[in-house]
Amino acid sequence: MQYISTRGASPKQSFLQILLGGLAPDGGLYLPESYPQISLDELKSWQQYNYRELAFAVLSKFATDIPAEDLRAIIDKTYTADVYCNTRPGENAEDITPVRTLEPGLHMLALSNGPTLAFKDMAMQLLGNLFEYALAKNHDSINILGATSGDTGSAAEYAMRGKRGVRVFMLSPHGKMSPFQRAQMYSLQDPNIYNIAVRGAFDDCQDIVKAVSNDLTFKAQYKIGAVNSINWARVSAQIVYYFKAYFAVVKNVGDQVSFSVPSGNFGNVCAGHIARMMGLPIKHLIVATNENDVLDEFFKTGRYAPRAQTLHTSSPSMDISKASNFERMIFDAVGRDAGEIQKLWSKVDQGQGFELNAAAFAKVKEYGFVSGESGHADRMKTIREVYERYGQMLDTHTADGYKVGCEYREAGISMICLETALPAKFEESIREALGRNPERPKGLDNIESLPQRVEVMNNDVNTVKQFVVAHAQD
Ligand SMILES: *Cc1c(COP(=O)(O)O)cnc(C)c1O
Residue 227's pLDDT is 87
| pLDDT reading at 202 higher than 90 | no
**Distance (Å) from CA 268 to ligand 1 centroid:** 7
Residue 87 lies in a domain: no
Sign of CA dihedral 320, 455, 219, 200: positive
Query: Residue 262: CB within 6 Å of ligand 1?
Result: yes
Distances (CA, A) of 425 to 183, 317, 356, 420, 429: 11, 11, 37, 11, 9
Mutate to test the pocket of ligand 1, among 109, 180, 317 (most ligand atoms within 8 A of CB): 317
Residue 361 lies in a domain: yes
Residue 149's pLDDT is 80
Residue 128 lies in a domain: no
Contact 222, 471 (CB under 8 A): no
Residue 357 lies in a domain: yes
Return the percentage of the chain with pLDDT > 70, whole number.
Answer: 100
State which amino acid sits at residue 313.
Answer: T
| pLDDT reading at 38 higher than 70 | yes
Q: How confident is the model at residue 474 (pLDDT cuts 50, 70, 90)?
A: low
Residue 266 lies in a domain: yes
| pLDDT reading at 19 higher than 80 | yes
Query: Residue 10: CB within 6 Å of ligand 1?
Result: no
3-state secondary structure of 171: strand
Domain assignment of residue 257, given as a range: 93-117+233-434
Residue 314's CATH number: 3.40.50.1100
Residue 246 lies in a domain: yes
Sheet of strand 99-103, all strands in order from the earlier edge strand to the far edge: 99-103, 106-110, 414-419, 257-262, 282-289, 369-373
Predicted structure pTM score: 0.96
Domains: count for the chain: 1
Query: Residue 401: CB within 6 Å of ligand 1?
Result: no
Residue 138 lies in a domain: no
State which amino acid sits at residue 375.
Answer: G
**Distance (Å) from CA 262 to ligand 1 centroid:** 7
Cα(80)–Cα(156) distance, integer angstroms: 18
Strand-pairing partners, residue 168, are 144, 193
Query: Residue 236: CB within 6 Å of ligand 1?
Result: no
Query: Length of the chain, please?
Result: 474
Strand-pairing partners, residue 197, are 172, 456
**Distance (Å) from CA 41 to ligand 1 centroid:** 33
Residue 66 lies in a domain: no
Task: Give residue-wise pLDDT tens across range 316-348.
Answer: 999 888 898 999 999 999 999 999 999 999 999
Sign of CA dihedral 359, 360, 362, 363: positive
Average pLDDT across the chain, whole number: 95
**Distance (Å) from CA 241 to ligand 1 centroid:** 15
